[in-house]
Amino acid sequence: MNKKALGEVWYARFFYPGLIAALTAVFFWLARNVLLEALPFFVMAVGYGVLLTGVVTASGRAFMAMYASFLLIYLSFLAVEDDLGVPAAAPWFMGFIIGAIAGGPAWFGDRAGSAVNQKRERTADGQGFTGGWQLVLINAVSALVLLGLGGAHLVYQSPTVPVAAVLGIAVVGGWALFRFVTSVQVKYLSLFAIPVGFLALGFVGGATDQLALPHVWAYGALAGILIGGRYWSGPKFGEPRPPFAGQGGRRRRRKRRPRVEQKQTQKTARTSCRSNP
């Protein structure tokens, strides 16, 4: 076994478990006075992190949406922590870090210690990536989770018609953007509407006592993106809708000519220039 392989096995068997144990011990120490109340949020976050880095990474779009929702969930817990009467935000943050570490590397086998790579195969024409039931399930479950989180804010925090309307508009807007718009630039620029809208609706929600407005906007937009950005039926079942990152045709690399041939070409060019001043 070479040095690199030995290092990877060492990381898998000692470093990662040690880091996870240390962070878990820190959590139990910090939350010792409210451990029973904080533990459910910690366990949920650990599971979320493991699934995100170990399973959801098979879909790049779902991974980015759910990774962003980790921060949104943290902000959601901050917003409702006083109403719940239990600590939720800090256990969620700590648990997610531990889960993300645990779900990242392979723990057993020849590749122990190396990152879990979800290989995405290209279609026969090279213009996109293949689909299938796994990607459909990952995106469908992710979209349902996001919709559930937005609906929870609506029901629990601000059960009003304007908040419900914002949730519906966000879902439809995200769906239409990734379903019908064909420009990559427009899609990427439109993604900035999510944080901008979150901040703007945060001020509006604070002024109108509808604190769920920014949260339903962000969750709804991310769910709409996942729904509209994939083929759900037909021969392309499960494939991401183009255009998206990495879906263009592969660039052909120019073959490097042998050094002798390059020197001969340069010599011929110099000779031609001297003969035709």
The pLDDT tens digits of the residues spanning 135-188 come to 899 999 999 999 999 999 999 888 999 999 999 999 999 999 998 887 888 888
Looking at the domain assignment, is residue 259 inside a domain?
no
Question: Is 2 in the same domain as 74?
Answer: yes
Q: How many domains does the chain have?
A: 2
> Of 119, 143, 166, which residue is a domain's last?
119
Q: Are residues 165 and 113 in the same domain?
A: no
Same domain, 197 and 137: yes
Kindly state the average pLDDT of the residues 192-199: 94
Mean pLDDT in residue range 89-117: 75
Q: What percent of the chain has pLDDT over 90?
A: 46
- Asked if pLDDT for residue 260 goes beyond 70, the answer is no
Q: Are 106 and 166 contained in the same domain?
A: no
Q: How many CA atoms lie within 13 A of 244 on its CB side?
A: 21
Report how far apart, in Å, the C-alpha atoms of 181 and of each of 174, 175, 265 are: 11, 10, 47
Q: Are residues 113 and 170 in the same domain?
A: no
Identify whether 269 is part of a domain.
no
Determine which of 72-86, 112-126, 164-178, 236-250 has the lowest per-residue pLDDT on average. 112-126
- What pTM, to 2 d.p., does this model score? 0.79
Measured at the CA of 94, the angle between CA 157 and CA 81, to 5 degrees, comes to 20
Quote the percentage of the chain above a pLDDT of 70.
73
pLDDT at 257: 52
Residue 137 lies in a domain: yes
In this structure, the answer to whether residues 143 and 94 fall within a common structural domain is: no
**Would you say residue 40 lies in a domain?**
yes
Do the domain assignments include residue 213? yes
224 and 167 in contact (C-beta within 8 Å)? no
Residue-level pLDDT at 224: 95
Neighbours of 81 (CB within 10 A): 15
More confident residue, 210 or 243: 210
Domain annotation covers residue 201: yes
Statement to judge: residues 112 and 59 lie in one domain: yes
Same domain, 61 and 172: no
The answer on 139 and 111 residing in a single domain is no
Position 196 in a domain: yes
Is the per-residue pLDDT at 217 higher than 80? Answer: yes
271 located within any domain = no
Residue 258 is predicted with a pLDDT of 54
For the ranges 94-103, 135-144, 184-193, 200-209, the lowest mean pLDDT is seen at: 184-193
Q: Among 3-7, 90-94, 198-202, 229-233, where is mean pLDDT lowest?
A: 3-7
- 151 and 101: one domain? no
Which range marks the domain in which residue 226 is found? 128-245
Q: Categorise residue 231: left if φ over 0, alpha if ψ from -120 to 50, beta otherwise.
A: beta
Same domain, 185 and 71: no
Domain match, 22 and 110 both: yes
d(CA 66, CA 139): 10
